[in-house]
């Protein structure tokens, strides 16, 4: 997952400050996520809370900044890319729901029991799969709305 993030950043970094910042948020989120297996139990509550905060920030940035910017850019070109990109949003929504559910369940996990930690392990695995799907869909969204127009934008410059 971390390697895919680096590849996306290499492909799309520099397109805009908003997307650059968003991809940095994604990389931080992935780093936090993959560090969970090595976190000491005494640090779990704080790290989980920080992860959930960063997860909500990432979702918000995507929905309220990045997606809007991409859609605005796509609407400037009448080439069908906007319609193609809009087909991805219904596929992204279940990953948003999964992340919100995870946040609701684990953002304020206090003094977890062994059973809660066991369930957390299972839920982290499910969340990882969901995030991987989301990141792939978001990369496709960027590709559809940016790469499709790159040549046209360069011609105008």
Mean pLDDT within 112-119: 93
Question: Quick one: pLDDT at residue 103?
Answer: 97
Q: Are 17 and 66 in contact (CB under 8 A)?
A: no
44 vs 50: CA distance, rounded Å: 10
20 vs 11: CA distance, rounded Å: 11
Q: How far is CA 39 from CA 58, 71, 89, in A?
A: 22, 39, 34
2-156 — its CATH code?
Answer: 1.20.120.1370
pLDDT (tens digit, 9 = 90+) per residue, 1-49? 656 656 655 554 445 778 889 999 999 999 999 999 999 999 999 999 9
Question: Quick one: pLDDT at residue 2?
Answer: 56
Question: Quick one: pLDDT at residue 99?
Answer: 98
Domain boundaries, the chain: 2-156
User: What percentage of the chain carries pLDDT values higher than 70?
Assistant: 83
pLDDT (tens digit, 9 = 90+) per residue, 71-99? 877 777 777 888 888 999 999 999 999 99
């Amino acid at each position: 997952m971390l390697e895919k993030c680096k590849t996306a950043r290499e492909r799309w970094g520099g397109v805009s400050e908003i997307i650059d910042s968003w991809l940095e948020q994604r990389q931080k989120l992935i780093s936090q996520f993959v560090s969970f297996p090595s976190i000491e139990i005494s640090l779990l509550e704080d790290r989980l809370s920080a992860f959930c905060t960063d997860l909500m920030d990432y979702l918000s940035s995507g929905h309220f900044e990045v997606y809007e910017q991409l859609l605005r850019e796509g609407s400037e070109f009448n080439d069908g890319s906007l319609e193609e990109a809009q087909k991805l949003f219904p596929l992204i929504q279940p990953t948003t729901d999964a992340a919100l559910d995870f946040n609701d369940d684990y953002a304020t996990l206090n003094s977890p029991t062994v059973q809660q930690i066991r369930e957390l392990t299972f839920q982290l695995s499910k969340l990882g799969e969901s995030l991987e799907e989301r990141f792939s869909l978001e990369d496709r969204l960027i590709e559809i709305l940016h790469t499709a127009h790159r040549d046209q934008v360069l011609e105008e410059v």
